[in-house]
Amino acid sequence: MKILITGGCGFVGSNIAIYLRKKIKKAKISSLDNLIRKGSLINRNRLKKYNIKNFNINIEKFEKVKLIPKFDIIIDCCAEPAIEASRKDPDRVFKTNLVGTFNILKKCIKDNTRIIFLSSSRVYSIEKLRRFTKSLNVFKPQKISKVINESFETSSASSLYGFTKLASEKLIKEMFFKTNLKYIINRFGVIAGPWQFGKQDQGFVPLWVAKHFFKKKLSYIGFGGHGNQVRDIIHIDDVCEIIYKQIKNFNRINNDTFNIGGGLRNYISLKSLTSKCEELTKNKLKIKKVSKTSDFDIPYFITDNKKIHRTYKWKPTITVNKTLNDIYDWLKKNKILRKYF
């Protein structure tokens, strides 16, 4: 079996590549990444240790993409995932996320290749999520029980990033229609773990741990600046495990869309995340409050994992506390990473 992982020198892609290298001994695992993102050179060196080749190619250039060898499966992890980048650099987001997917799909059709596409929970409508949260009254102390499933509204605005991921999903269905090609679409929530070089609006969990560990500045941004925003967290190892299960069962289970996240057992607010980081690092920061909320931000998201559990008998097994500990241990062993945060 030959597997190509686009965005393979990113956080998610590199971890999936190494995980599959260990689990599927006879498979040939390759990466495609143009190495422009923070930390990608570090991850490329990690891949080299496992004899995983990287094709240094810009996914936007089909004349380059079409020349790479044929693969049995492509796992498409390549994306510009930061929500605020939708506003700051819309051309890059559109080209990387949508034109890039289009090029990969043309390659799939040319070579009769199956695809596992990593989409996002941010395909869901911002205003509907905010109304949902308002009715839930999430910022008041209570036991949270509401989750977002695959049928939640996607018809109104979700940011340019969200649009490009949803449009890519539709593109897969259109281009594979009436073919024998198989696909799986995974809408992941917040993924976290070691080797993630996080930012405020993408990869906030390792960012929070690192800022505490290295004693750097942090801010609560939006919704009054109190840190009450809630997200569920899924450890990268749980992500790798479900991708592995999907590969093993591709002939039996395909052409479907799944929400995948930490779920009700693995959610946390920024305020609670701060407390846990203080406990881990023994460092306490004075966190700035920024009241103004970005037009793209949402106060709450917890994934409904029922469909993915029902289909694959899979559920996340790694707790938020274990995820934070893993990130902390990674930082302690690699203090040179200070400059990346």
Partners of 1 in the β-ladder: none
* Distance in angstroms (rounded) separating the CA atoms of residues 289 and 205: 18
Q: Provide the residue type at 294 as one letter.
A: S
pLDDT at residue 137, rounded to an integer: 53
pLDDT at residue 84, rounded to an integer: 75
pLDDT for residue 138 is more than 70:
no
pLDDT at residue 117, rounded to an integer: 98
Backbone φ, ψ for residue 106 (5° rounding):
-60, -40
pLDDT at residue 143, rounded to an integer: 64
* Distance in angstroms (rounded) separating the CA atoms of residues 16 and 5: 8
Percent of residues, the chain, with pLDDT higher than 70: 96
Query: Average pLDDT of the chain?
Result: 93
Question: Is residue 135 very low, low, confident or very high in pLDDT (cuts 50, 70, 90)?
Answer: low
Q: What is the pLDDT of residues 31-90, one digit of tens each?
A: 999 998 888 999 999 999 999 999 999 999 999 999 999 999 999 999 887 777 677 788
pLDDT at residue 82, rounded to an integer: 74
DSSP class per residue in 136-154: HTTTSSS-----B-TTS--
Q: Provide the residue type at 271 as one letter.
A: K
Q: What is the pLDDT of residues 250-308, one digit of tens each?
A: 999 999 999 999 999 999 999 999 999 999 999 999 999 999 999 999 999 999 999 99
With contact defined as beta carbons under 8 Å apart, do 40 and 10 qualify? yes
Q: What is the pLDDT of residues 199-254, one digit of tens each?
A: 776 789 999 999 999 999 999 999 889 998 999 999 999 999 999 999 999 999 99
For position 22, which CATH number holds? Answer: 3.40.50.720
In angstroms and rounded to an integer, the radius of gyration of the C-alpha atoms of the chain is 19
The total number of structural domains that make up the chain: 1
pLDDT for residue 341 is more than 70:
yes
Percent of residues, the chain, with pLDDT higher than 90: 82
The domain in which residue 36 lies consists of 2-340
- State the average pLDDT over residues 169-189: 96
With contact defined as beta carbons under 8 Å apart, do 201 and 83 qualify? yes
- What is the signed CA dihedral for 116, 236, 331, 271, rounded to 10 degrees? 120
Give per-residue burial for 68-81: e unless 16+ CB within 10 Å, then b. eeebbbbbbbbbbb
Q: Shortest CA distance to 195 belongs to which of 19, 21, 316?
A: 19
- State the average pLDDT over residues 126-147: 72
Partners of 235 in the β-ladder: 192
pTM of the model: 0.95
- State the average pLDDT over residues 103-128: 97
Helix (H) / strand (E) containing 320? helix 320-333
Q: Shortest CA distance to 80 belongs to which of 56, 57, 60?
A: 60
Task: Work out the angle between the directed axes of helices 270-281 and 320-333 (0-180°, nearest 10).
Answer: 50
Q: Shortest CA distance to 59 belongs to which of 37, 82, 88?
A: 37
CB atoms within 10 A of CB 195: 20
Lowest mean pLDDT among 14-23, 58-67, 86-95: 86-95
With contact defined as beta carbons under 8 Å apart, do 187 and 120 qualify? yes
Structure tokens at 294: 């970005």
